Amino acid sequence: MKAGAENIRDIEAFINTGAELAQAREDGVDLWALWHNLQRTPAERLHRHQIALEMLRKLRKAKTL
């Protein structure tokens, strides 16, 4: 996903919607990544999660070799 000027304004509008998000940003939460992830469908998010879990399993298995 490319971050054009319009997209950047959308992201900043999302991030600046409340005190909780401002605090999260101060605490180091990557709100840009969160916003981009929320643009995906639940099925897409689940698929990406499954890929990450499989990679973790492979890394743990490789560590024990």
- The position carrying tokens 């997209």 is 7
What is the pLDDT, as a whole number, of residue 1?
A: 47
> Minimal CA–CA distance to 7: which of 28, 30, 35, 40?
35
pLDDT digits (tens, 9 = 90+) for 7-58: 778 777 877 778 888 888 889 999 888 888 888 999 999 999 999 999 999 9
Break the chain into its structural domains and give their ranges.
5-63
Residue 4's pLDDT is what? 60
Is 0.85 surpassed by the pTM of this model? no
